[in-house]
Structure 1
Amino acid sequence: MSVVEKRAGWHFAERSVLGLVAVIAAGLGFGLLLLLVLHRWTPMLQLDQHLDDRLNALVAPHPAAVAVLKGISTAGGRGWLIPLVVLVCVLLLIRRRTRLAIYLAVTGLGAALLDPSLKALVGRVRPVVADPIAYGMGNSFPSGHTLGSTIVYGALTLVFLSLAQGRWRGWLIGAAAVVILAIGLSRIALGVHFLSDVIAGWLLGLAWISITAYAFRVWRREAGQPTAPLADGLEPEAADDLAPAPDENAVLPHPWAKGAEILVGWVFTFGVLYLVGYAVTRWSPPFDDAFPRWLQTFRSPTLDHVSWLWSKAGDTHAILAVSLVFCPIALALWRQWRPVLFIVLAMFGELTLFLLSAAATGRPRPQVEQLDGTLPTSSFPSGHIAATICLWAAIALICMGRIDRWWRWLFLVPAVVMPVGVAVSRMYRGMHHPTDVLGAVLLAACWLAVLWWTVRPNAEALRATADLEHPDRRRERPARPGRDGDPARVARPGGPSGAARLRPAAHRDAR
């Protein structure tokens, strides 16, 4: 055995022993805390209550601090962690990394089962503070937010660690540790958990991650895969598949020129909105107030609830949620940033155009009962409707240009149904005139046309399709470094080529 092999063996043994010690220490630490809580050890109980009282006295008088702590705490709740795990598992399956998806799902499922089981077993009540600023459901030990965030963010770090190189690995691990630490401390500061609850969540989460990571490595070994250091990630060879867009060239050619074109288009759209808004504010047509009054005659408790649901489908939270789901899936499917950039610019431009146009026109709301109360923005244009049109129309434009199956036409359904439903609900609730809807349509049509002409979100997909249909054109076009001239880009081991990933389904089947 050579000297290099001996050193590698010693390093492997050292890492294994240290990992085993860490797992044992985490398990023993959690077990000790569990016994102290079950036997109600007085010094620990006094320390827990004293810390909660002090932090409550510091935080409760400051609403801004309370809001920040609640925002941090939300990142460890089930309403955030479960959708995050499901979305990442879908992305891993799209990239054909089934083993990593199973690992993440099983690890996250363990967090979902450990938390309620231990809380029911221990039955510890939550803290009682002088000025409650937050409320928790169920028992207190261990902290579910802390346990869930430790397991989920720790597992995600192990999954994507192979993407980071050199110092970036330390930054990635450090960022995950900061998030986990902040979530745990926020639960104490909000007065919904004791210090011992949070420490128990950290220790149990670390132990569970270590167990599942070891089981994953055994699974790889039994499947004939090489065993790499855990610092390289769970699957080091998956780095290329986990990379967002390894096959893409520049996102936009001539970015400064494109930026200038987008800016000119934004100014043009704002000018159109200002002129129309100025006109309808000062010369409002008779039907503008008559139509919301007519819709008001149909009001009933059932329709009020249905209209509220439709209206919520166009608010900021719903639009942001759909965008945060679609953009990663689009990136995983087509390995290009350009469709994501198209969505981001569409929504950012819509928001700025709506806010400035509403401030410039200052149009009052309809003279009817407004079910949503007084809003800070003016009536023209409708931000809910404009955001809904921009989002669903942009998704339809991207998907219909990249899918050649008959069901691509189904993307037109939400692009039509969602804006119509939101528009009717907003007028039914007395929040907008018909001309406000017209303003939203003008905003979305002008702005999406500008972005379609400048960004061209489907340009790379169309070019790849043209190359497949006319191979002579590809041979005549000079090779470009990093694409045509790089054989690794054309036929990459472990996955299809960049052109194959962009190829519409019909061409893949024909092949």
Structure 2
Amino acid sequence: MTGFGVAALLFSVLVIAVRVRWVPLESLDRGVVDGLNALVAPHRPLVTLMGGISRLGSFGILAWLIAIAATLLLVRRRLRLASFLVATALGGLVLDPTLKLAVGRLRPVVERPVAHGGGNSFPSGHALNSFICYAALLVVFLPALPARWRRPALLAGGVLVLLIGFSRLALGVHFLSDVIGGWSLGAAWVGLCAAAFELVRHESGKRVTAPLAEGLEPEAARDLHPAAPGRAPAEAPRRLWAVAGLAVAWVLTLGALVAVGLPLARYQHGNGNVLGDHAIPHWFAAHRDAALERITATGSDVGNTHAILAIGLVVGAVALAVARRWRPVVFLLTVMFGELTLFLASAAIAGRARPDVPNMDGQLPTSSYPSGHVAATICLWAAAALLVLPRTRAWWRWLFVAAAVLMPLWVAVARLYRGEHHPTDILGSVLLAGLWVPAAWWLLRPNADVTEHATARPAPATARPVRAAP
């Protein structure tokens, strides 16, 4: 409680100093930002490094970390910890823009700009939200770590937050007092939320903990472990065999894609009428209307990289939380990474032109064959269905099977309608997924824990044979 009170006092002093434009503080702020700009701006690799560190404190990264952690906690039925994590993170999203508007401080103006920051300057949103999110994750998951690793984990989290704050100074988008203000407000907010959580624990009859030493809820340690320990020694040879098998499967799949794609790309400059490659895109282009444009725009978006990544992260988090095994997650990552590399490699080699109709989404960076949107959608939902089906007998498992059929169909029709692909590009995506997903499933055996559990059950007793009457 003392630390959070000191942090709150420091933030209050900084707010007043910034609002009254205290000259010594403004002089220090200007000197730091100008000095770092002169040091960093001339060196492009250093600017790139600072930009990469800064992104670790961005909303996109932090939101997904909190979402994945909260999903794991909810699946493990740790509702209070999930609520603490979400409420703490949401507090940062409210405090940052509110205080920026209230204080109204302008961003620094430097001699050699290398980055751009939106909105006002005080406090630093990256410093505030990175402190809140990483601190909240640490105090929630600390019980899952062995005691000897807890202090190094806290130290690593602190160093990461310091680097994120420093990167905002080095990029010239914040003053020193903005960053310190973000850190102090973040410490005060996390301390306040932890105190509220401890009060709830006390009211429910549980002992008060030391969050920085043992975490918020030490008794949750077992449920906070992402997965059970594996059986490394016996499985090591199989893992090597699986890696070798995946490499062979990847090469053979690429060969099949190229063998089909190159002739299609060469025939009449990619727009020959093979299986309706010319007729179907032209028919769709002649029957466009506003309602279908909105539906197909959504269908195209659900197959893009960002949507697939988002859905894949959620599926992976749920798989890890439910199965308590790394193998399903490794299977999902392997399928999606293999799909991405196969698509990029085969598209680069084939180099097929897009259909010769008006393109509704503008210039696209890759060739037409195969469709990356359709391939990624098939791989993601097929992998999810393969993971879900053996693990439950509930009716909703068939929703994943339906999604594995209907989602790729929606994306495929949308891409054809919008003039992005030929029909044979879609068939190329089916070929990619049809070869790669079964190979990964067979080699990685993501449901091995289910089958091992089933075979370990004792066989049901059989009735004793009845002797025939003499």
TM-score by length of 1: 0.80
Give the superposition deviation at 1:185.
Answer: 2.3
Consecutive unaligned residues in structure 2, runs of 5 or more: 463-470
- Which of 353, 358, 368 lines up with 1:369 in the alignment? 358
CA distance in 2, matches of 1:285, 1:341: 40
Alignment pair present for 1:256 and 2:240: yes
The equivalent residue for 1:274 is 258
Give the superposition deviation at 1:150.
Answer: 0.7
- Which of 423, 435, 450 lines up with 2:424 in the alignment? 435
Give the superposition deviation at 1:347.
Answer: 0.9
3-state SS of 1:225 partner: coil
- Which of 447, 458, 468 lines up with 1:458 in the alignment? 447
Consecutive unaligned residues in structure 1, runs of 5 or more: 1-18, 474-511
Contact 1:252 1:455 in 2 (8 A): no
CA distance in 1, matches of 2:364, 2:92: 41
CA distance in 2, matches of 1:463, 1:105: 36
Bigger Cα displacement from structure 2, 23-32 vs 145-154: 23-32
Bigger Cα displacement from structure 2, 360-369 vs 130-139: 130-139
Bigger Cα displacement from structure 2, 329-338 vs 184-193: 184-193
Q: Which amino acid is 1:262 matched to? A: L
Report % sequence identity. Answer: 51
Q: Which amino acid is 2:325 matched to? A: Q
CA distance in 1, matches of 2:407, 2:45: 35
CA distance in 2, matches of 1:349, 1:53: 45
3-state SS of 1:254 partner: helix
The equivalent residue for 2:342 is 353
Contact 1:252 1:258 in 2 (8 A): no
CA distance in 2, matches of 1:399, 1:314: 21
CA pair 61-371 structure 1, distance change in 2 beyond 3 A: farther
Contact 2:68 2:313 in 1 (8 A): no
The equivalent residue for 1:102 is 83
List per-residue Cα deviations over 1:432-466 (Å, max 9, x = no partner).
Answer: 21111111101101111112222222232233345
Alignment pair present for 1:92 and 2:87: no
Bigger Cα displacement from structure 2, 172-181 vs 295-304: 295-304
Bigger Cα displacement from structure 2, 365-374 vs 462-471: 462-471
- Which of 409, 416, 437 lines up with 1:448 in the alignment? 437
CA distance in 1, matches of 2:356, 2:458: 59
List per-residue Cα deviations over 1:313-332 (Å, max 9, x = no partner).
Answer: 22222222211121011110
Q: Which amino acid is 2:78 matched to? A: R
Alignment pair present for 1:217 and 2:192: no
3-state SS of 2:373 partner: helix
List per-residue Cα deviations over 1:32-76 (Å, max 9, x = no partner).
Answer: 212211221012112223433444455556666555544443433
Q: Which amino acid is 2:156 matched to? A: A
Bigger Cα displacement from structure 2, 448-457 vs 434-443: 448-457
CA distance in 2, matches of 1:247, 1:53: 51
Give the superposition deviation at 1:375.
Answer: 4.0
- Which of 12, 28, 35 lines up with 1:31 in the alignment? 12
Give the superposition deviation at 1:153.
Answer: 0.8
Q: Which amino acid is 2:277 matched to? A: D
Bigger Cα displacement from structure 2, 340-349 vs 45-54: 45-54
Give the superposition deviation at 1:405.
Answer: 1.1
> How many residues matched?
454
CA pair 105-431 structure 1, distance change in 2 beyond 3 A: closer
3-state SS of 2:303 partner: coil
CA distance in 2, matches of 1:395, 1:252: 26
Contact 2:71 2:317 in 1 (8 A): no
The equivalent residue for 2:28 is 47
- Which of 392, 415, 433 lines up with 2:404 in the alignment? 415
3-state SS of 1:201 partner: helix
Give the superposition deviation at 1:467.
Answer: 4.7
CA pair 78-260 structure 1, distance change in 2 beyond 3 A: closer
- Which of 218, 224, 249 lines up with 1:236 in the alignment? 218
- Which of 130, 148, 152 lines up with 2:129 in the alignment? 148
List per-residue Cα deviations over 1:193-232 (Å, max 9, x = no partner).
Answer: 2211110111121122233334433443443334454312
3-state SS of 2:424 partner: helix
CA pair 383-213 structure 1, distance change in 2 beyond 3 A: same
The root-mean-square deviation of aligned C-alpha atoms, in Å, is 2.9
3-state SS of 1:406 partner: coil
Alignment pair present for 1:387 and 2:376: yes
Contact 1:247 1:335 in 2 (8 A): no
Give the superposition deviation at 1:341.
Answer: 1.4
Contact 1:252 1:338 in 2 (8 A): no
Give the superposition deviation at 1:180.
Answer: 1.4
CA distance in 1, matches of 2:285, 2:44: 38
CA distance in 1, matches of 2:401, 2:48: 39
Contact 1:240 1:246 in 2 (8 A): no
CA distance in 1, matches of 2:188, 2:226: 30
CA pair 108-410 structure 1, distance change in 2 beyond 3 A: same
Alignment pair present for 1:118 and 2:71: no
CA distance in 1, matches of 2:299, 2:239: 38
Bigger Cα displacement from structure 2, 53-62 vs 228-237: 53-62
3-state SS of 2:245 partner: helix
The equivalent residue for 1:127 is 108
CA distance in 1, matches of 2:293, 2:114: 32
Alignment pair present for 1:183 and 2:164: yes
The equivalent residue for 2:182 is 201
What pairs with 1:164-179 in structure 2 (closer than 5 Å)? 164-179=145-160
List per-residue Cα deviations over 1:85-127 (Å, max 9, x = no partner).
Answer: 3432232122122332232233223323333443344333333
CA pair 77-264 structure 1, distance change in 2 beyond 3 A: closer
The equivalent residue for 1:494 is none
The equivalent residue for 1:289 is 278
CA distance in 2, matches of 1:198, 1:222: 36
CA distance in 2, matches of 1:282, 1:78: 44
Give the superposition deviation at 1:389.
Answer: 0.8
The equivalent residue for 1:328 is 317
Q: Which amino acid is 1:192 matched to? A: V
3-state SS of 1:125 partner: coil
TM-score by length of 2: 0.86
